[in-house]
Chain A
Amino acid sequence: MRILKGAALIAAFAAASPVWAETITVEAGEGAQERLQEALILARPGDEIVLGAGRFALSDGLSLDVDNVTIRGAGAEHSVLDFTDQQDAGEGLLVTSDYVTLRDFAVENPKGDGIKSKGADQIVYYKVRVTWTGGPLGTNGAYGIYPVESTGVLVDSTMVSGASDAGIYVGQSRDITVRNSMVQYNVAGIEIENSRNALVEGNLATHNTGGILVFDLPGLPVMGGGDVRVTGNLVTTNDVANFAPPGNIVGGVKRGTGILVMANENVLVDENLLEANDTAQIMVVAYTLPFTDERYNPYPRNVVVGENLYQNGGSNPDLDGGQSLAEAFGGALPAVMWDGLGDGQTPALLAVAGTPGWSVNLPRQGADPSEGTPGPLDVPAPKSPILTGPIGAPEELSRRIAG
């Protein structure tokens, strides 16, 4: 099974990888479950596991626990890990080792999450597709691409659709870049949760319930999310009714949300094109539920709305009394919606002059929106940059997929 290829050996030398690095090819067909899982287990650091073109029919979740392994398919439309008949495990593919590269293959119809990497530092997802082929259904798995508790995450040129929570979800991690990816027909397109130092750039988020979410939640081992830049994204027509199973925090996301920041600190939202998100192009809010975690700050702090382009949003808000509210604002809600809450010390929200917006003016954290006294947005303009220093995944991760 371990086929040593001269080309791979030379490439290995060139990349200064261990000289014994091998290429192990696994083809689709009979016994794919055992053959592929065996290859994943017997791989050694530096190895590349190549998936042939075709559909791999899998009965159980797969897992990789060896550092510095690449899984490379023949393309996201050609090598498909098909979990339609999955009987076991909480995700399609689980990665628990460091320096892993996943590229050029697809995962379809996993019963739980698509690809989960946990405690897997310096991981790259490149040209990977995760699809629930039945469209947006509450019975789909929660997350498509799901790195958690990791340092160094690059998600580049991926596609996810159908996730009943978030298409691309990065949680409890740091040094993260999510870019050039397309997310559609998910509840949340991209979600950065309880994470630090994240760059979300150049993505297309469309036909989700909410396009891009930046959250900080209480009661988790890693909290205090912040230092996030959401820039250069096309966030358009996020118009799918929320199909999250009830009880999930994203179940509260309103249809027609472009970019949503909840709690968190030091978040810069700039240079995005926001179009036809009919509740709010940008929404900045405090955590909405009661909580007991004393370590937790439920308020947004230093969220900066920079220059963005806004078109045709806010005309069909998914809010109680939304229609009359929209009429009160002349037919459509302004682009930026703030709940009006902050911790009273750090400014919750800053926006460049001329930013169209409104505030719900809630009286306190956890209050029902009906208690608000809506009015125009009145927040300071940003004076100094809130993000200094490099942001996003380490350069080494980009180099791994260059060329």
Chain B
Amino acid sequence: MKSRAFLILAALALGGAAALGAKAPVEVNANAITEDLLPPALSEFGFFADPARQVPSQGVIPYRLNTPLYSDGAEKLRFAYVPPGQKARGNGEGLIDFPAGTALIKTFKFNGRLIETRVMLHRAGGWLALPYRWNESQTDAQLVVAGARMPVTTPDGEEISYRIPNKNQCKECHGLDGAVIPLGPKARNLSAEWLAGMVTDGRLDAMPQVHDTMPLWEARGEGDVAASARAYLDVNCAHCHRPGATASNSGLDLRWEQDDPHSYGVFKRPVAAGRGAGGLEFSIVPGEPDQSILLHRMNSIEPGVAMPELGKGTIDHDGVAIVRQWIAEMRQ
């Protein structure tokens, strides 16, 4: 049942582990996940058998998202750890309900160098998000609760001051109705093969029922433009632009499941956009991408104008292109 991609990832992981030689397999430190502490070093979790090469420890499962969040072009490596003997529960198309003791791990890489790893820990009191910055020698990463800036060269060759978010900024995106929640692992944004693998391995209770899977980002040129654009907006914008989240007061709701055009921006006037509106009247004007505030703000890196407000130092030209095409093809 497992997909080839899954097997390849698994094989890579095994290969990496084998290359380590006789080193004993590293075990995940469950206490570091669950205890009410802020571990100062990433290594304390034991998520990686070979940290520098991001070879996961036993039980730490790599995954990908069909449509990922843009992060200045960073290569992102995602892992999930579900405590042994426990099962996550499917929740329809939505966010998988992971048990306490779960960790979600995401490493950001530029030009082969590890820059930061963000972890989400499911503790008794809810989820906690923490940012870790990798050291020069790439042996370990240190907690940076206040965030940090680092010079980085993007895949497009842009020299930027890359922002590692602080602990509060983690919540700005991951906050919903006052709680912190994961964003990525929604069943609709995961491959059926991966989900099936999790079920087979006993980490997920049953195959979630998904009728409306998000498209693969790399296949966006081939298929349904609207689906690609809406998936992009959901993943990149809707963590804030939805009821109960950071940008709820804007009234703009960019979730995948929102099907009221005014709610996702069609002829919707700005509320608190200020100069971010760029002199334009509506979030989306069908057929007129250059008259649409939404695209204008995606196409900026100026603080106060640029969207998303956090985690963006460069324009995502691929994202701009698909949203531009979607708006251009939208009928009046």
A residues near B (Cβ < 8 Å) are 33-35, 37-38, 40-42, 59-60, 63-65, 86-90, 94, 96, 110-113, 118-119, 138-143, 146, 148-149, 164-165, 169, 171-172, 217, 219-222, 245-249, 289, 292
Q: List 16 A-B contacts (CB under 8 A).
A: A34-B146, A38-B146, A88-B309, A90-B303, A96-B171, A112-B304, A113-B274, A138-B275, A139-B275, A142-B273, A142-B274, A171-B271, A220-B251, A246-B280, A247-B270, A248-B274
Contacts of A87 in B (CB 8 A): 149, 161, 163, 303, 313
Instruction: Flag if B275 contacts A172 (CB, 8 Å).
Output: no
Q: Is the CB of A221 within 8 A of B166?
A: no
> Are A88 and B303 in contact, CB atoms less than 8 angstroms apart?
yes
Contact B273 A219 (CB under 8 A): no
- Out of A37, A139, A172, which one reaches B166, CB within 8 Å? A37
Least Cβ–Cβ distance between A313 and chain B, in angstroms? 28
Question: Contacts A89-B303, A221-B243, A247-B277; is A149 near B147 (CB within 8 Å)?
Answer: no
A141, B280: Cβ atoms closer than 8 Å: no
Interchain nearest-CB distance for B225 vs A (Å): 26
Chain B residue nearest to A34 in the complex (CB): B146
Q: Are A219 and B262 closer than 8 Å at their CB atoms?
A: yes
Residues of A within 8 A of B249 (CB): 118, 148-149, 171-172, 220-222
Name the residue in A41, A113, A138, A248 with the highest tally of chain B Cβ atoms < 10 Å from its Cβ. A248
Return the chain A residue nearest B163 by Cβ. A88
Q: Is B106 an interface residue (CB 8 A)?
A: no
How many Å from the CB of A177 to the closest CB on chain B?
20
Bound-state CA distance A248–B281 (Å) is 7
Instruction: State how many angstroms separate the Cβ of B178 from the closest Cβ of chain A.
Output: 7
* B 141-181 binary contact with A (CB < 8 Å = 1; else 0): 00001111100000000000101001111011001001000
Whose C-beta in chain B lies nearest to the C-beta of A31? B146
- Asked if B168 and A64 sit within 8 Å, CB to CB, the answer is yes
Q: Does B310 have its Cβ within 8 Å of any Cβ on chain A?
A: yes
The verdict on A112 contacting B274 (CB below 8 Å), with A38-B146, A63-B172, A87-B163 known, is yes
Q: Which residue of B lies closest to A171 (CB)?
A: B249
Which residues on the A side are within 8 Å of B298 (C-beta)?
none
- Other 6 A-B pairs with CB < 8 A, given A38-B145, A247-B273: A37-B145, A37-B146, A41-B168, A119-B178, A247-B277, A248-B277
The DSSP consensus for interface residues of chain B is: loop
Chain A nearest Cβ from B170, distance in angstroms: 10
Q: Output the residue of B270, B274, B276, B309 with the most chain A CB within 10 A.
A: B274
Contact of A41 among B146, B163, B274, B302 (CB under 8 A): B146
Specify which chain A residues have a CB less than 8 angstroms from the CB of B172 in the assembled complex.
63, 94, 96
Q: Which residues of A contact B169 (CB under 8 A)?
A: 63, 89
Cβ–Cβ contact A118 & B166, under 8 A: no
Contacts of B167 in A (CB 8 A): 41
Report if A219-B149 is in contact (Cβ < 8 Å); known contacts: A63-B169, A141-B304.
no
- In contact, B303 and A245 (Cβ under 8 angstroms): no
A89-B310, A247-B280 known; A143-B303 Cβ under 8 A: no
Majority secondary structure, A binding face: loop
B161 CB → nearest A CB, Å:
6
CB distance from B119 to the nearest CB of A (A): 16
Q: Kindly identify which residue among B149, B161, B243, B279 contacts A245, using a CB–CB cutoff of 8 Å.
A: B279
In angstroms, how far is the closest chain B Cβ from the Cβ of A144? 11
The complex places the Cα of A40 from the Cα of B167 at a distance, in Å, of 10
Q: Is the C-beta of B53 less than 8 angstroms from some C-beta in chain A?
A: no
Contact B269 A249 (CB under 8 A): yes
The chain A residue sitting closest to B279, CB to CB, is: A246
Shortest beta-carbon distance from B13 to chain A in Å: 34
| Residues of the B chain whose Cβ atoms lie less than 8 Å from the Cβ of A86 | 303
* Interface contact A245-B278, CB-CB below 8 Å: yes
Contacting residue for B279 out of A40, A247, A249, CB 8 A: A247
Give the top 7 A-B pairs by smallest Cβ distance, nearest first: A142-B274, A111-B303, A112-B304, A246-B279, A247-B277, A37-B146, A63-B168
Which residue on chain A has the smallest CB distance to residue B38?
A: A42
Central interface residue in A40, A41, A60, by most chain B CB within 10 Å? A60
Q: Among B146, B275, B309, B310, which residue has its beta carbon within 8 angstroms of that of A164?
A: B275
Instruction: Write the chain B residue with the least CB distance to A218.
Output: B269
Closest B residue to A88 by beta carbon equals B163
Q: Are B175 and A96 in contact (CB under 8 A)?
A: yes
Q: How near does chain B come to A164, taking the closest CB pair, in angstroms?
A: 6
B293 at interface by CB-CB < 8 Å = yes
Chain B: which residue is nearest A165 at the CB level?
B274
A34 and B146 CA atoms in complex are apart in Å by 5
Any A CB within 8 A of the CB of B248: yes
B304 partner, pick from A59, A111, A249, beta carbons under 8 A: A111
Residues of B within 8 A of A94 (CB): 168, 172
B144 CB → nearest A CB, Å: 8
Within 8 Å by CB of A165, from B148, B178, B272, B280, lies B272
Complex Cα spacing A318 to B277, Å: 24
Closest chain B CB from A195 CB (angstroms): 12
Contact between B166 and A41, CB atoms less than 8 A apart: yes
Please report the C-alpha to C-alpha distance between residue A165 and residue B243 in the assembled complex, in whole angstroms. Answer: 24
In the bound complex, residues from chain A placing their C-beta under 8 Å from that of B246 are: 118
Give the shortest distance, in Å, between B125 (CB) and chain A (any CB).
Answer: 14
Q: Which residue of B lies closest to A65 (CB)?
A: B168
* Contact of B303 (CB < 8 Å), options: A112, A118, A140, A171: A112
A245, B275: Cβ atoms under 8 Å?
Answer: yes
Chain B residues contacting A41 (CB-CB under 8 Å) are: 145-146, 166-168
State whether A220 touches B271 (Cβ < 8 A): yes
- Nearest residue in B to A138 (C-beta to C-beta)? B275
Q: Do B147 and A245 touch (CB < 8 A)?
A: no
